[in-house]
Amino acid sequence: MTIKDLQPKVVWDNFYGLTRVPRPSKHEEKVIEYLLEWGKNHGIQAEKDAAGNVIMRAPATPGMEKRRGVILQGHMDMVPQKTGDSKHDFLTDPITTLVEGDWLTADRTTLGADNGIGVALALSVLEDKGVKHGPVEVLVTRDEETGMTGANGLKPGVLKGDILINLDSEDEGELCVGCAGGLDAEADFRYRTVASPEGFVGYTLTVKGLQGGHSGMDISLYRANANKVVARILLPLMEKHGVKLVSFTGGSLRNAIPFEACAEILVSETATRTVKKVVDEVFGQIKAEFAESDPSAQMNFARKAAAPRYIGDKVALAVVKALLACPSGVIRMSRTMEGLTETSINMAIVRTEKGHITVHSLMRSAVDSAKAALADRVRCIFEAAGATVAFKGGYSGWTPKLDTPMNKVMMEQFKKVYGRDMKIMATHGGLECAIMGAKYPNWEMVSVGPTIRYPHSPDERLDIPSVARTWDYLKAVLEAVPEK
């Protein structure tokens, strides 16, 4: 069985179409063109705004003209993650999908169900003439994953509806009515290089095979952070055995828990056996600690040609100490919603380039003051280590409103379709609702979606039966939207 055999066909055909179009964040040109052409081919009014968002509009079906206007919203970009042995090029290659029982996954890459399946559901509402609905607008935003650029660039007054149904949730049966705010931190260490001494040989220390995952949804699973693991191994090597740091590279995306990291080092020829023993011991301890959450963790310590220069010892040691001192993971769980992370940080990316080592972290919190306090903590740690620290991309959370007319509709229709009660919740992930709701304060906002597991990682998978149920539920909701 392949994706083309799945039902409902209209939804899976639209999702398949999106998998054929390269659409990594910051490179949405092809998918924008695809969406505009899709609208033209289906007789749907479609336009691109100044921020690169695509907006489509369809009139009410006969007899539904007096219903309140609904905006169906998702984002067009996807997280480009792949395994180390994958040759996939996210700028040119389509996603290869695989049906594995009740799950749809991809061949060693992210699937793009986050948020391609949400966009596919919205397009299907416009395409399927059997769906009854009032006035509908579809908003497909650009660059959600790396900065929420489309949401930030959306102009007030462009959209006419007053109910927003965001289709970027990842747990079927949950009605999301709130989300965390976010803030990016970048610490920058400047360094000078030193000529490599005689009698030193080169090695690479690579940690891989970690599960990684979404830095909001999966942060509470307490998976290992590859940057922290490598730093933890390096510290005793540098402090006790004179190891020199040439470079440190780890992670690739601000909102993905890093599952691979690599350090290039220089080791004295007389200490290689001892250093190898320490590397094995420390990694063995770490692997035992994370045996449940990261059972496939791997470490490779391999000889290579010695680099001609290395990073000065003082700065290199300060970097490693700061990487260990700075938190990464859950800071506090919610006291009001069971199982919800309130505040967290993901030390996402470390890069060494042209005299700079940069460390990128993404902080999230449902409480603005807690986010600010965490930012101060991060700043103090890195500044004490000699780095300069800058913050950007901050946004507040989406405050839950439980007793709204649309919430009631969502709950009632879920009970009719599923025969059970829907769970109301908030997410620790960042949703564009927080940003767009500030521009359209009259909106009632909710977020739903089929079940997705391990987004932002090559293990991403989409629950096939949940897509059909979500489609039936969305159709029922649109038919039940109240009048103006």
270-300: buried (b, 16+ CB within 10 Å) or exposed (e) per residue? ebbeebeebbeebbeebbeebeeebeebebe
What tokens does 484 get? 């103006």
What residues act catalytically? 77, 144
Sign of the torsion angle spanned by Cα atoms 307, 312, 316, 319:
negative
First to last CA, the chain: 45
Peptide bond into 450 cis (omega under 30): no
Say if strands 181-190 and 356-365 run parallel, antiparallel, or are unpaired. antiparallel
State the Cα–Cα distance between residues 69 and 58, nearest whole angstrom: 10
7-28: buried (b, 16+ CB within 10 Å) or exposed (e) per residue? eeebbbbbbbbbbebbbbbeeb
363-382: buried (b, 16+ CB within 10 Å) or exposed (e) per residue? bbbbbeebbeebbebbbebb
State the Cα–Cα distance between residues 284 and 298, nearest whole angstrom: 10
Burial of 340 (0-12, 13-18, 19+ CB in 10 A): middle
**By the 8 A CB rule, do 11 and 118 touch?**
no
Tell me how far the alpha carbon of residue 230 is from its chain's centroid. 22
What value, to the nearest 5°, has the Cα angle with vertex 474 and ends 468 and 475?
A: 95
Burial of 252 (0-12, 13-18, 19+ CB in 10 A): middle
State the Cα–Cα distance between residues 37 and 54, nearest whole angstrom: 11
Bridge-partner residues for 483, per DSSP? Answer: 67
